[in-house]
Amino acid sequence: MLPDPRSADMPDEEMPAEEVACRARLKGLGVQFEEHKAESNPEIGCSIPYPLIVKTLGGSIGIGSGTELNCQMAEAAARFAADVIQPAAKAEFGADLKSIRQASAFVCRPRHGTRKLSEHAFGNALDIASFTLSDGKTIEVGPSPPEKDAKFLNAVRKAACGPFKTVLGPGADADHSLHFHLDLEPRRNGGTFCQ
């Protein structure tokens, strides 16, 4: 199996224009973040040359501490929270989305049971375990949520397929029974894989 070409990614002396532009877009979305030092593990193949630690997904939407992502994934998550999750919470519960509890962001590891690197190894994936609303309600991602929670979770999961290239959750496999996995894995012909 050929190594992932992204495994060789290392930061340039000067940040590329696309990374600079992405950060400007994040600021425009109201995302709070801080720069983090590049991380790589040549032995395993993990690499995140321009990582960010995301503090909020814009406006007043918090996200769990230690959310390290590449800029493109941070932008996709922020847009998704504002354009999809927030309106879905308002429609279903009449409350605003206050925060997202992430289960995993950048983690240097292969996919479960394989040698192929996980998108987490590139800061290109986010696992979401729950959503907390402004009224204090928490909606957990899991196999058999209450009916109203299920309607919200299904709407969010369905809408994720498109902005994200891979969407997995309860029912996909045992590894994803308690969270949504969202990533931007480049796929042939720009396709998606949603389960």
pTM: 0.94
Q: What is the pLDDT of residues 113-167, one digit of tens each?
A: 777 899 999 999 999 999 999 999 999 999 999 999 999 999 999 999 999 999 9
Rounded Cα–Cα distance for residues 45 and 116 (Å): 10
Q: Can you tell me the distance from the alpha carbon of 83 to that of 104, in angstroms, rounded to the nearest whole number?
A: 22
Backbone torsion region of residue 67, taken as left when φ is above 0, otherwise alpha when ψ lies between -120 and 50, otherwise beta: beta
The C-alpha angle 109, 27, 97, rounded to 5 degrees, equals 75
Structure tokens at 21: 């532009």
Residue 143 CA, chain-centre distance (Å), reads 20
User: Domain limits at 53?
Assistant: 5-194
The residues, ordered by sequence, that sit 6+ positions from 189 with a Cβ below 8 Å of its Cβ are: none
| Of 42-46, 79-83, 109-113, the least confident | 109-113
- Counted domains in the chain: 1
